[in-house]
Structure 1
């Protein structure tokens, strides 16, 4: 007979209701805790999916509302591009210029936007303006809502997994310490003092 048992067989031997008299009470409690940890992790999957779906829905609604209030207008570049961030090892240099455009009420508005380095004063560029008629960021892509939802769900699931693993590790360390103290006490009781 082989002395190496397979993993499923070893797991089956560690079940809390095992009738083996050599299994300590602490081993049974540790087994119960492991079963509860697996149940908690299985319950965390639908909870993470529900939270991720809710985050996706809220983010999609927010993106849709924000994008609906933005419009594009043509603006005239007033100044030559000025470097605002030098080129680095992984990012290109960034430039900005002042631009001027006509608002819905007929008044002229000016603002500063990020622009390409080869743009010249007098060029016409397309910019995004918000409901207040001021420069705003371009609309977010609707696909970003999906990444918000997936990221939230995965983060929640990973947090639950790390929390359960940390709890199991702490309990295992505590039980190992208690077993070591008990073994030491039993070994001291078996040995005779020197000289007797």
Structure 2
């Protein structure tokens, strides 16, 4: 008999509806809880997929609306780049400079992040938000996919961890109850010394 068939046979004997009189009631409840955990995990997969899909759809729509409201304009650098974040072991230094651009016939000024070697008077492309102020560049559409997958996987992992924690706690409580019962039965078997 192979190892796999022996494992299947042992699992079959652990079923809660087993007629074996040696199987304790607590063992039946534990086996039933294990089956319930497996069923809930299987049920969590389509739920997590639905939540991930809904997150993807809303993220894709939000990104599309935000990107449509952004416009790219040429701007002139007015000041030398100033370091705003020092370089560290895990990050690069960041530099900002004041810029000027024309929008709807008006000259406007603002501050954006630039490269360290940017010269005063040079032209840089900057993205303006719906308010007409410099903002972040458009997000790639692929970030909606990342949001959807991340949400679905996080939900699935969270449900799995919660169910495994519940199963672990119940198993530990049952082990403790079994130990107490064994100790009580063993004390009842022994006779006091000298009798």
Normalised by the size of structure 1, how large is the TM-score?
A: 0.96
Note if 1:38 corresponds to 2:23: no
For 1:189 and 1:108, how far apart are their aligned partners in 2?
Answer: 95
Which has the larger displacement, 85-94 or 177-186? Answer: 85-94
Shift in Å, 1:6: 2.5
- SS of the residue corresponding to residue 124 of structure 2 reads strand
| Residue matched to 1:69 | 69
For 2:194 and 2:181, how far apart are their aligned partners in 1?
Answer: 25
For 1:5 and 1:172, how far apart are their aligned partners in 2?
Answer: 25
| Residue matched to 1:59 | 59
Note if 1:189 corresponds to 2:188: yes
For 1:9 and 1:34, how far apart are their aligned partners in 2?
Answer: 17
Normalised by the size of structure 2, how large is the TM-score?
A: 0.96
Shift in Å, 1:5: 7.4
- Note the residue ranges of structure 1 that are not aligned, 5 or more in a row: none
| Residue matched to 1:156 | 155
- SS of the residue corresponding to residue 6 of structure 1 reads helix
- Note the residue ranges of structure 2 that are not aligned, 5 or more in a row: none
For 2:9 and 2:37, how far apart are their aligned partners in 1?
Answer: 20
Shift in Å, 1:30: 0.5
- SS of the residue corresponding to residue 138 of structure 1 reads coil
1:79-94 equivalence runs, <5 A: 79-94=79-94
Shift in Å, 1:133: 1.1
Would you say how many aligned residue pairs link Structure 1 and Structure 2? 195
Can you list the C-alpha shifts for 1:157-177, whole angstroms capped at 9, x where unaligned?
000110110011001000000
- SS of the residue corresponding to residue 149 of structure 1 reads helix
Can you list the C-alpha shifts for 1:111-158, whole angstroms capped at 9, x where unaligned?
000000111000000000012211111111000000000000000000
* Structure 1 vs Structure 2 CA RMSD: 1.7
Shift in Å, 1:12: 0.8
For 1:42 and 1:5, how far apart are their aligned partners in 2?
Answer: 24
1:77-116 equivalence runs, <5 A: 77-103=77-103, 105-116=104-115
Can you list the C-alpha shifts for 1:27-69, whole angstroms capped at 9, x where unaligned?
0010000001100000000000000000000000000000000
For 2:68 and 2:16, how far apart are their aligned partners in 1?
Answer: 59
- SS of the residue corresponding to residue 114 of structure 1 reads strand
| Residue matched to 2:50 | 50
Note if 1:25 corresponds to 2:25: yes
